């Protein structure tokens, strides 16, 4: 019993490998454009991707599923958050700049914890219907 997983996250974050978790156990690392066949311990298991505290949605997979990893909706939110940082840093000076920078970094870390930066999709259309 195994699943096939393919990473297609474009250029964003392509240098670092994703950690693949099945049933909360890290089973592999996945590089950009890499395809791997991973064994699953049971007929049904929960799959998730994590990287630098960014995470994907949890996907329940069965044997012989084909799964694709892409950028999720949280990736856009994370990008917009970082773009907002530039004007804020230009407005403040001195101590206020350091405090606002610290708050933005904390906010960025919070976004990574709360939203799904990456998205797992089942590629087997016959099982989606």
Q: Where are the domains of the chain?
A: 2-128
Look at the block and give the residue holding tokens 């995470």.
55
CB 18 within 8 A of CB 12: no
pLDDT score recorded for residue 20: 92
Spatial distance between the Cα atoms of 13 and 17, rounded to a whole number of angstroms: 9
What are 3-56's pLDDT values in tens digits? 899 988 776 566 788 899 998 899 999 888 889 999 888 888 899 998 876 788
Spatial distance between the Cα atoms of 73 and 26, rounded to a whole number of angstroms: 24
Average pLDDT value for residue range 96-108: 84
CB 122 within 8 A of CB 77: no
Spatial distance between the Cα atoms of 129 and 118, rounded to a whole number of angstroms: 23
Confidence band for 129, pLDDT divided at 50, 70 and 90: very low
């Amino acid at each position: 019993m195994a699943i096939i997983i393919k990473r297609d996250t474009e250029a964003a974050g392509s240098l670092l490998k994703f950690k693949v978790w099945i049933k909360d156990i890290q089973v592999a690392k996945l590089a950009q454009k890499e395809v791997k066949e991973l064994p699953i311990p049971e007929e049904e298991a929960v799959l998730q991707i994590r990287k630098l505290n960014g995470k994907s949605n949890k996907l329940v997979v069965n044997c012989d599923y084909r799964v694709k990893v892409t950028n999720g909706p949280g990736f856009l939110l994370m990008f917009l958050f970082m773009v907002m940082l530039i004007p804020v840093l230009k407005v403040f000076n001195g101590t206020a700049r350091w405090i606002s920078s610290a708050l933005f970094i904390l906010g960025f870390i919070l976004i990574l914890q709360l939203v799904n930066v990456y998205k797992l999709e089942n590629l087997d259309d016959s099982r989606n219907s």
